[in-house]
Amino acid sequence: MIEQETLCSLREMYVLGGLSEKEQGAFERHLLTCSSCQVEVRSLREVEAWLLEDYASIDPPSGMKERVLHHVFADTVDSAWEKAVPFVDVSKEKRSDLIQASPRLKTVRSGLMYRKVSAWQSLLASAAIAVIAVFVTLQSVRAPISPSLPMLGRVQQSLTLKSTSFIPLAQARVMITQMGSQKQLYISLSHLAPVTGTEAYQVWLVQPRGRGLAVHSLGVFLPMKNGSAAFASTIPTGNYSMIAITLEPRTINKTPQGPKVLMGTANV
């Protein structure tokens, strides 16, 4: 039997749809009598509904839209993408096969329905961070925020990424927040294809540079069995005109090697 404290810790993954059938049944029985979980689940579901709304892309400054759309839709975009300036390492420390991320904003890896306790705690923290962070941000915008909740900034942009022919049903909602000089990126994804072997989805920021494109990797994530995922990352200092997601043949690539899955213009 799952202990009550453990059951209370399952609420974020319950809302995200990441529990096994056994865990879901146990949590739903627990939810009937736990007022604390009822309040939290209700709040998290409000955030989930917000993330699934359709957002119109925010128009970039005059002239930028035409320049960026030319890069995205022109016949030369694929060659420009493939010949992009090599990956710019934005971290001060040498990167390993695991992305170096802020303690508060880690690369999200969704999936792994059956977990050992230590792995489960790590997964839960990372999978929940996008939802909880967005909730905190919305609270800061719409209502007074409790002093006990961390402030992660105010919403600056929200947009929808456009799927490519590789996975035409893929969907992604993006929110960019800012606190002081630091910006954060949150993405809620659905209808992704499953990965196999060493494959992983990788998130890129694209920066026009001369006649080409410089790409900056923000990290990787794995979708859950239902094709959904969440991703959170800090944004390195710079001016970026595009957000792109690719399906890479291995966990971390320094430049895009796999097919483009989702793309969108942004003024970051």
In the β-sheet with 212-221, what is the strand arrangement from edge to edge? Answer: 212-221, 200-209, 242-248, 260-265, 154-163, 171-179, 182-190, 229-235
Please write the tens of the pLDDT for every residue from 180-192: 888 989 899 999 9
Same domain, 108 and 236: yes
- Look at residue 205 and tell me whether its pLDDT is greater than 70: yes
Same domain, 193 and 89: yes
Same domain, 88 and 214: yes
- Count: domains in the chain: 2
User: Is residue 153 very low, low, confident or very high in pLDDT (cuts 50, 70, 90)?
Assistant: low
- Look at residue 167 and tell me whether its pLDDT is greater than 90: yes
Same domain, 96 and 172: yes
Residue 71 has a pLDDT of 44
Show which of 48, 68, 84 is a domain's final residue. Answer: 48
Same domain, 12 and 117: no
Q: Does residue 197 come out as left (phi exceeding 0), alpha (psi in the -120 to 50 range) or beta?
A: left
Highest-confidence segment of 27-36, 89-98, 117-126, 145-154:
27-36
Gap between the Cα atoms of 232 and 239, Å rounded: 19
What range defines the domain where residue 183 resides?
55-265
Find tokens 């920021």 and name the residue.
Answer: 205
Same domain, 29 and 147: no
Residue 192 has a pLDDT of 96
Please write the tens of the pLDDT for every residue from 118-132: 333 333 334 444 444
Same domain, 82 and 211: yes
Same domain, 110 and 10: no
- Kindly report which listed range (21-35, 64-78, 141-155) carries the lowest average pLDDT score: 64-78
pTM over 0.85: no
Residue 251, φ and ψ in degrees, nearest 5: -60, -50
Same domain, 111 and 13: no
- Contact in structure between 170 and 212 (CB atoms under 8 Å): no
Interval 45-49 mean pLDDT: 55
Same domain, 37 and 101: no
Interval 87-103 mean pLDDT: 34
Same domain, 22 and 155: no
Same domain, 169 and 43: no
Please write the tens of the pLDDT for every residue from 242-268: 899 999 998 777 888 899 999 998 888
Please write the tens of the pLDDT for every residue from 81-91: 444 434 433 33
